[in-house]
Chain A
Amino acid sequence: EPEVTQTPSHQVTQMGQEVILRCVPISNHLYFYWYRQILGQKVEFLVSFYNNEISEKSEIFDDQFSVERPDGSNFTLKIRSTKLEDSAMYFCASKGAFGNTIYFGEGSWLTVV
């Protein structure tokens, strides 16, 4: 069964450092997303990406965040200067051209120290 894959599974980084989280969405999907879940809280939407541009972003997704689809398969989330409050599980997700079901990856656990 096709799946969304994410790397790394866990990353520890110092405050102020840049982090890049990587994702390979399901092949032939066209819509890509990043969500996050801070420990003990809800899963929150960060950003959606379609046709090589951001289609929607939340208030969390400020200038410190950026997304990119550098080639035909990868989808990345960059946090330019990490803060302690960025510590969370980050989920990449994708959706096909039809239907409204979004499929999630296993997550990348980011710890900022």
Chain B
Amino acid sequence: DQQVKQNSPSLSVQEGRISILNCDYTNSMFDYFLWYKKYPAEGPTFLISISSIKDKNEDGRFTVFLNKSAKHLSLHIVPSQPGDSAVYFCAASRYSGNTGKLIFGQGTTLQVKP
């Protein structure tokens, strides 16, 4: 099931700089997208989401951009902090379906160096 892809398995960024994590999807029926952060042996923690009627959503240091025509979304973290080091998953769902089933990408491991 490759409906949601995160093509970069890892990303390393200097503290204070911008981290950009990317995600692509293939199913045009997806209308709600979420980013989760995950530490080893813990559950995914919700970070930020965006509906397909928007192209940007911002929450503090986190901004998610959605490009529907390209079926692409990205998560920007500015400024990056060492505590942001974790695995980041994007996930997609069909809100109209309302079972809430999420399709996850493979994850990108972010390392923020002090």
Q: Give chain A's interface residues, CB within 8 Å of chain B.
A: 4, 6, 31, 33, 35, 42-45, 48, 50, 55-56, 89, 91, 95, 100-107, 109
Closest partner residue, chain B, to A46 (CB atom) = B101
Contact (Cβ within 8 A) B104 A43: yes
Find A31's partner among B44, B51, B100 (CB 8 Å cutoff).
B100
CB atoms of A100 and B93 under 8 A apart: yes
Most chain B beta-carbon contacts within 10 A, residue among A4, A6, A35, A43? A43
Within 8 Å by CB of A44, from B36, B44, B99, B104, lies B104
Interfacial chain A residues near B107, Cβ < 8 Å: 42
- Chain B residues within CB distance 8 Å of chain A: 32, 34, 36, 41-46, 49, 51, 89, 91, 93, 95, 99-107
With A45-B102, A91-B44, A102-B100 known, 19 other A-B pairs at CB within 8 A are A31-B99, A33-B101, A42-B105, A43-B44, A43-B104, A48-B100, A48-B101, A91-B43, A95-B100, A100-B93, A100-B100, A103-B46, A104-B36, A104-B44, A105-B43, A106-B42, A107-B41, A107-B43, A109-B41
Contact across chains for A56 and B101 when beta carbons are under 8 A apart: yes
Q: Report B-chain residues with C-beta under 8 Å of the C-beta of A6.
A: 43
Once the chains are docked, how many angstroms separate the CA of A4 from the CA of B103? 20
Q: In the complex, how many angstroms separate the beta carbon of B105 from the nearest chain A beta carbon?
A: 7
